[in-house]
């Protein structure tokens, strides 16, 4: 965005970027769930068949497993691990659904002052994009902790090639989220 109000092209670019960021976040959460082998997951009907193999496969069962929405995944994690405060989660899910289902109609096409709408929409999108990044970092931090725990459990800590420094921001987000 330059010094003036955002253009439609900038709104579209940020919309695409935000959608991709939300999908990345969803992918990380699904992958994390697929790698967790606990009684909690095995007894949860929604995730019973979600494994790394089914997640990465192209068959119908895999497609069904991948259809889990971001809301269901985050609700599951929030209930079981209490990673995100409820208000932040609820706001994120409402905004995610608005972006996917009604953003264009509500914020862009149905207003009398398009350039003012673009400015408001751009700020809203930027905030949602940043929120998705924060949630992704939180789950990356959690994933790092799981990887580190498994490595120690199997005496493979020395083989772990993940740099703590590269994950520092993710771990900070994780610890901030669980305070």
3-state secondary structure the chain: CCCCCCCHHHHHHHHHHHHHHHHHHHHHHHHHHHHCCCHHHHCCHHHCCCCHHHHHCCCHHHHHHHCCCHHHHHHHHHHHHCCCCHHHHHHHHHHHHHHHHCHHHHHHHCCCCHHHHHHHHHHHHHHHHHHHHHHHHHHHHHHHHHHHHHHHHCCCHHHCCCCCHHHHHHHHHHHHHCC
Please give the Cα distance from 83 to 104 (Å, whole number): 31
pLDDT above 90: residue 174: no
pLDDT value of position 29: 75
pLDDT value of position 107: 83
For the segment 86-118, what is each residue's pLDDT rounded down to a tens digit? 677 778 888 998 999 999 888 888 667 666 788
Q: How confident is the model at residue 13 (pLDDT cuts 50, 70, 90)?
A: very high
Q: Count CB atoms within 10 A of the CB of residue 61.
A: 13
Q: How confident is the model at residue 160 (pLDDT cuts 50, 70, 90)?
A: low
pLDDT value of position 42: 63
pTM for this prediction: 0.69
């Amino acid at each position: 965005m330059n010094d003036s109000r955002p253009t439609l092209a900038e709104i579209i670019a940020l919309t695409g970027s935000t959608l991709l960021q939300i999908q990345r976040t969803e992918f990380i959460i699904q992958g994390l769930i697929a790698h967790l082998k606990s009684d909690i997951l095995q007894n949860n009907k929604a995730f019973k068949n979600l494994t790394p193999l089914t997640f990465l496969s192209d068959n119908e069962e895999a497609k069904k497993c991948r259809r889990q929405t971001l809301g269901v995944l985050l609700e599951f994690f929030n209930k079981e691990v209490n990673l995100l405060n409820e208000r932040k989660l609820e706001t994120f899910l409402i905004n995610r659904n608005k972006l996917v289902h009604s953003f264009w109609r509500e914020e862009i096409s149905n207003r009398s002052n398009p350039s003012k709408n673009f400015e408001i929409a751009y700020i809203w999108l930027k905030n949602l994009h940043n929120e998705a990044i924060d949630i992704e970092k939180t789950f990356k931090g959690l994933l790092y902790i799981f990887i580190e725990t498994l490595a120690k459990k199997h005496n493979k800590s020395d083989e772990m090639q993940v740099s703590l420094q590269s994950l520092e921001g993710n771990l900070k987000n994780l610890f901030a989220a669980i305070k």
